[in-house]
Amino acid sequence: MYKTKRCLRSLLLIAAITAPAATIGCAAHVRYYDVDHRDYHHWDDHEDRAYRAYLSERHEPYRDFNKRSPDEQKDYWNWRHSHPD
């Protein structure tokens, strides 16, 4: 009986420790609102590839999207709407 309780406590401790780590992936999703087109964009691997294609087409070095000025972000969303998947 003692071994069963000890095993159960260990499993509960492991679950308590790993549960927050398992939910971190859900919190990392970023969503941008495009004011001109009145829609939301989810930033994921697919959007990152499109952003890199945009930079390549313009011969610009990579710079984190959220560090760009609002005007630069607006230019990207305009380009993105004219280049759908």
Apex 23 CA angle, 17 and 26, nearest 5: 165
* Average pLDDT estimate for 74-83: 95
Give me the phi and psi of 31, to 5 degrees please: -125, 130
Euclidean distance between CA atoms 5 and 67, whole angstroms: 52
pLDDT tens track for 2-40: 677 675 576 555 655 665 555 445 556 799 999 899 999
Euclidean distance between CA atoms 10 and 28, whole angstroms: 29
Cα torsion 10, 16, 21, 25: sign = positive
* Average pLDDT estimate for 71-76: 95
Distance between first and last Cα of the chain: 60
Does this model's pTM top 0.85? My answer is no
What are the extents of the domains in the chain?
A: 2-82
